[in-house]
Amino acid sequence: MNKKLTLTAVSAVLLMLIAGCGDKPTAAPAAEAAQNNTAAVGGAGGNAGETPDNGADNSGGEIVAPSTAPQAEPSPTPAATAEPAQPQKQSQSIEVYYTDPQQMELVTGAATISFANDTEKYNESFKALQTSSNAEQVPLWGGMELKSLEFKDGQVTLDIHKPVEAQLGAGGEAMAISALAKTFFQFAEVKAVELLVDGEQVESLMGHVDLEHPLTRENSGL
């Protein structure tokens, strides 16, 4: 009876030992998994005291070079605005009428004018009446101031200012009006000349001779 109990106890101990040995392999995978997790965390965070490699991609992918921002293209320089072509000037030799130093009669002179249009042509013609390089050809309009000149529908309209020093006697006034008419009516396109003083029609330029409005070839005796 005692032998049976002893065998039974030994058998129970052996079974317990066998059971204990069988449970140890089951715990091993859990320990291994814990070790692998520790290694993974250590690989992601790096070992303590180590400087992370800035050139490496922590996600495990390929190293990507830093992108460069595209350079802004310079704005195109605006093309220079072409200046309008200036009208071509032409020259013309004209007759200009003066008086002699004694103011006895009209004398004929000559001048060359340059102009780009009709208005400029008649402006230059009036200027020629005001100047002379010949001592024997005295200007009758030298003291007058031309305020404006317009050419329209065959008529030249001059607006002048007459200073006191431009005043002439009766003979000088008549020759001045004749000199103006002869100079402008040499141009075939000029049909009339309207002479204004400070923007107004006057009965007489200098108070001696009646002034026609407008002057024409007929009433000027041409």
d(CA 205, CA 170): 10
- Threshold 0.75, pTM exceeds: no
> Do 213 and 197 touch, CB atoms closer than 8 A?
no
List residues bridging with 156 in a β-sheet: 151, 193
**Residue 16 scores a pLDDT above 60:** yes
Determine the 3-state secondary structure of 167 from DSSP.
coil
pLDDT digits (tens, 9 = 90+) for 150-206: 999 999 999 999 999 999 999 999 999 999 999 999 999 999 999 999 999 999 999
Residue pair 144/105 in contact (Cβ under 8 Å)? The answer is: no
Say if CB 180 and CB 194 are below 8 A apart: no
Residues 6+ apart with CB under 8 A from 55: 63
Region for 203 from its dihedrals, namely left if φ exceeds 0, alpha if ψ lies in -120 to 50, beta otherwise: alpha
In Å, how far from its chain's centre is CA 7? 120
- Which SS3 state, helix, strand or coil, does residue 192 take? strand
Compute φ and ψ for 28, nearest 5 degrees.
-60, -45
From 199, 162, 198, 189, select the one nearest 177 (Cα to Cα): 162
d(CA 97, CA 14): 157
Looking at the predicted structure, is the pLDDT value of residue 113 above 80?
Answer: yes
Alpha-carbon distances, residue 83 vs 27, 76, 80, 145, 171 (angstroms) = 97, 21, 9, 33, 51
Task: Provide CB contacts within 8 A for 48, sequence distance 6+.
Answer: none
CA dihedral over 145, 150, 156, 157, signed as positive or negative: negative
Report the pLDDT value the prediction gives residue 115, as an integer from 0 to 100: 97
Q: State yes or no: pLDDT of 1 exceeds 60.
A: no
Q: Are 164 and 196 in contact (CB under 8 A)?
A: no
More confident residue, 148 or 56: 148
Q: Does the pLDDT of residue 128 top 70, yes or no?
A: yes
